[in-house]
Structure 1
Amino acid sequence: MAQLENSAQSKLEQFLGENLDTPTPNQSTENPFSNREPIKHLLIGSPKAVTSTIHYLQVIGYANVRDWSPLLPTNNSDEVMSILIRQILM
């Protein structure tokens, strides 16, 4: 299981890019985020399922719990949603 989490972490780091403060040779120092785009994650489900997923994503190192919006109600009485916006390397 630990090897699977390490592999997922490595892929995640490749996806997000590391060393955000260090420009690559082809990257301008004036705008370090010029090759990044926002991506929005939306979790919808029961409060327990959404909260559990948010905590799991923290365990695997994808996003801290505090990065997600508070649980917001949907039109369905048994559902909530939470939103996360990340910048990804393109």
Structure 2
Amino acid sequence: MMAQFTQYLQSADIDTLNLNHSSTQPVPQRDKIKHLLIGSPQAVTSTIRYLQVIGYASVGDWSPLLPTANQGEVMSILIRQIFI
């Protein structure tokens, strides 16, 4: 159950967490995950703001809105390090 929550912690938090566990548990490995939002500028911006409100990612963590090949559509990407 602990692994479910550690994937979203910052590295400083993980170091503290590791100090509180016995050394017999495996050390979590880092892996990248990419979130890609595609839609209207309003929909993408609204989703990015919502993800900040729920504490998942800050607005500044996302790339700027980039146009796609479809008129009126943009995309933004967030790359995070998670622990697995």
Asked whether the two chains share a fold, i.e. TM above 0.5, the reply is: yes
Give, in angstroms, the shift of residue 23 of structure 1.
6.0
Aligned-residue RMSD, C-alpha? 1.9
Could you list the structure 1 runs, at least 4 aligned residues long, displaced by more than 3 angstroms after superposition. none
**Structure 1 match to 2:37:** 43
Output the TM-score relative to the length of structure 2: 0.75
Q: Which amino acid aligns with 2:8?
A: L
Inter-partner Cα distance in structure 2 for 1:17 and 1:64: 14
Counterpart among 46, 66, 69 of residue 63 in structure 2: 69
Output the TM-score relative to the length of structure 1: 0.71
**Structure 1 match to 2:8:** 16
Give, in angstroms, the shift of residue 21 of structure 1.
3.5
Q: Which amino acid aligns with 1:60?
A: I
Q: Which amino acid aligns with 2:67?
A: P
3-state SS of the aligned residue for 2:32? strand
In structure 1, stretches of 5+ residues that fail to align are 1-12, 28-33
Q: How many residues align?
A: 72
In structure 2, stretches of 5+ residues that fail to align are none
